[in-house]
């Protein structure tokens, strides 16, 4: 039992007494609105929005309800289930970005090479609307898959990212009208709907062009985010936070991910470890069993009926053979299938045992009822005899 509680605490996060009290008070404060909204955010989501507004309940209420309204209007759950970003590889080539490994604390590392972004080409291979949908699914994947997987791997609660923006060759020419439009849409989504998920943002390779641009952009960024941003003068300082094995060579690290055509195509991290994914899937299945299938909401707060957790959050197309690790190409997924079959067989066995128990109970009940009928017949005969005698 203690192991289960410990694992649950790792994934959901342990909050101190003050935070727990704040969350419960806020739930009570919002009970009517949450009932009308038909949504019940988990404690960690509530805590993120409380922190976002400095634990001011009125202000936190406004942003949380806006978030729930946006999720419904944007159809976030539906997008995660149905949207497929087939242009993924083309987009990556004109907008180099992606997750790559973890920092020394176990947080996922996100990287963008902003100086290499070509928004003109980007909008030829996708649309702004589709890119925004892709971005939202990536945020959901981070909350519901990457963070839990990192938590399981690090054996401690992980709920924020360490990000790196490589701004080499960035200047005013990079901030065209289309680029500004894209930037503000993404910035609004991240700031309003996924607050308090950034641990630190490191900006590297800053030149004179970026310095001028940063003076214009910085005042538009909220103060709570500004304090998490650090412009590094020496790229070598990244190694203090992230092991070089998890840093690409263009960030002075040791990794190349040649088997994936580059580090930003790999999505390398614990969230792609089959053992961890299967463990998270097992937890979700166990949660559903505990709720007797009355609800399909998993332990991470996502409605996913009869779907594998990895499939739900992966909207990118299947990798071409060239993008797979050679050793992975030979790995059979049969062990994962076998484990799932074993779990299903275990559930069936439990169900059969319960049926047999019920059948035995029914048999006993039938015998008791038959005895009562016979007893009633005896009583009736006694009453008739007594009446006749009278």
What's the DSSP call for residue 145? I
Closest CA to 159 of 361, 338, 12, 302: 12
Task: Give the class (CATH, top level) of 1-74.
Answer: mainly alpha
pLDDT at position 334? 42
- How far is residue 61's CA from residue 332's CA, in Å, rounded to a whole number? 48
CATH topology of domain 80-272: Phosphatidylinositol Transfer Protein Sec14p (3.40.525)
**Which 3 state secondary structure label does DSSP give 100?**
strand
In what order do the strands lie in the sheet containing 198-204? Answer: 97-102, 108-113, 161-166, 198-204, 229-231
Query: How many residues are listed for the chain in this entry?
Result: 390
Pairing state between β 108-113 and 161-166? parallel
**What are the strands, taking DSSP E only, across 50-152?**
97-102, 108-113
- How far is residue 135's CA from residue 106's CA, in Å, rounded to a whole number? 23
User: Which residue is listed with tokens 């961890």?
Assistant: 276
pLDDT at position 136? 97
- Residue 300 · residue 149 · CB < 8 Å: no
- Residue 315 · residue 85 · CB < 8 Å: yes
Q: Extract the residue ranges of the chain whose pLDDT is less than 70.
A: 1-15, 36-38, 288, 290-314, 317-354, 357, 360-361, 363-390
- How far is residue 137's CA from residue 269's CA, in Å, rounded to a whole number? 17
Q: Under 8 Å CB-to-CB from 120, ≥6 apart: which residues? A: 176, 178
- Indicate the angle between helix axes 274-290 and 334-389, nearest 10 degrees: 10
pLDDT at position 382? 58
Query: With a threshold of 0.85, does the pTM exceed it?
Result: no
Q: Specify whether the backbone of 231 is left (phi greater than 0), alpha (psi in -120 to 50) or beta.
A: beta
pLDDT at position 347? 57
Closest CA to 70 of 44, 47, 49, 53: 49
CA geometry: angle at 36 spanning 34 and 39, to 5°?
A: 45
Residue 175 phi/psi, 5° resolution? -105, 55
CA geometry: angle at 252 spanning 187 and 263, to 5°?
A: 60
pLDDT at position 306? 47
- Residue 140 · residue 195 · CB < 8 Å: no
pLDDT at position 333? 42
CB atoms inside a 10 Å sphere around CB 214: 16
pLDDT at position 299? 41
* Predicted confidence (pLDDT) per residue in 170-188, tens digit: 988 888 889 989 988 999 9
Closest CA to 280 of 106, 139, 144: 144
pLDDT at position 353? 65
User: Which residue is listed with tokens 């941003």?
Assistant: 229
Q: Specify whether the backbone of 261 is left (phi greater than 0), alpha (psi in -120 to 50) or beta.
A: left
CB atoms inside a 10 Å sphere around CB 373: 10
Dihedral sign, Cα of residue 90, residue 99, residue 115, residue 197: positive
* Predicted confidence (pLDDT) per residue in 279-304, tens digit: 888 887 777 676 554 444 444 444 44
- Please report which helix (H) or strand (E) contains residue 268, including its range: none
pLDDT at position 321? 42
pLDDT at position 297? 45
- Domain ranges for the chain: 1-74, 80-272, 342-389
- How far is residue 167's CA from residue 217's CA, in Å, rounded to a whole number? 14
User: Which residue is listed with tokens 């972004």?
Assistant: 117
Q: Under 8 Å CB-to-CB from 143, ≥6 apart: which residues? A: 194, 197, 300
Provide the token pair at 169. Answer: 């060759």
What's the DSSP call for residue 75? T
- How far is residue 154's CA from residue 157's CA, in Å, rounded to a whole number? 8
């Amino acid at each position: 039992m203690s192991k289960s509680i410990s694992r649950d605490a790792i994934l959901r996060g342990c909050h101190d007494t003050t935070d727990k009290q704040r969350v419960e008070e806020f739930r009570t404060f919002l009970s009517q609105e949450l009932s009308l909204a038909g949504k019940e955010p988990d404690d960690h989501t509530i805590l993120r929005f409380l922190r976002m507004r400095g634990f001011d309940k009125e202000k936190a209420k406004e942003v949380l309800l806006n978030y729930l309204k946006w999720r419904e209007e944007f159809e976030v759950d539906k997008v995660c289930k149905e949207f497929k970003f087939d242009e993924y590889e083309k987009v990556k080539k004109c907008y180099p970005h992606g997750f790559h490994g973890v920092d020394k604390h176990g947080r996922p590392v996100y990287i963008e090479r902003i100086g290499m972004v070509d928004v003109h080409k980007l909008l030829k291979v996708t649309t702004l609307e589709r890119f925004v949908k892709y971005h939202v699914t990536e945020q959901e994947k981070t909350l519901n898959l990457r963070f839990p997987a990192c938590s399981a791997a690090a054996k401690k609660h992980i709920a924020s990212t360490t990000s790196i923006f490589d701004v080499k060759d960035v200047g005013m020419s990079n901030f065209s009208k289309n680029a500004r439009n894209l930037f503000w849409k993404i910035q609004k989504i991240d700031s309003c709907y996924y607050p308090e998920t950034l641990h630190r943002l490191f900006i590297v390779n800053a030149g004179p062009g970026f310095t001028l641009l940063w003076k214009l952009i910085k005042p538009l960024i909220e103060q709570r985010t500004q304090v998490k941003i650090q412009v590094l003068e020496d790229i070598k300082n990244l190694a203090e936070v992230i092991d070089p094995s998890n840093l690409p060579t263009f960030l002075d690290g040791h990794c190349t991910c040649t088997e994936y055509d580059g580090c930003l195509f790999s999505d390398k991290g614990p969230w792609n470890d089959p053992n961890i994914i299967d463990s998270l899937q097992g937890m979700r299945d166990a949660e559903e069993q505990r709720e007797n299938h009355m609800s399909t909401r998993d332990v991470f707060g996502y409605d996913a009926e009869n779907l594998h957790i990895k499939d739900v959050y992966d909207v990118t197309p299947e990798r071409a053979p060239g993008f797979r690790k050679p050793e992975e190409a030979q790995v059979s997924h049969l062990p994962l299938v076998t484990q799932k079959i074993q779990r299903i067989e275990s559930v069936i066995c439990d169900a059969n045992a319960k049926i047999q128990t019920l059948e035995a109970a029914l048999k006993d009940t039938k015998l008791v009822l038959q005895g009562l009928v016979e007893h009633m017949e005896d009583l009736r005969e006694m009453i008739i005899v007594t009446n006749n005698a009278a």
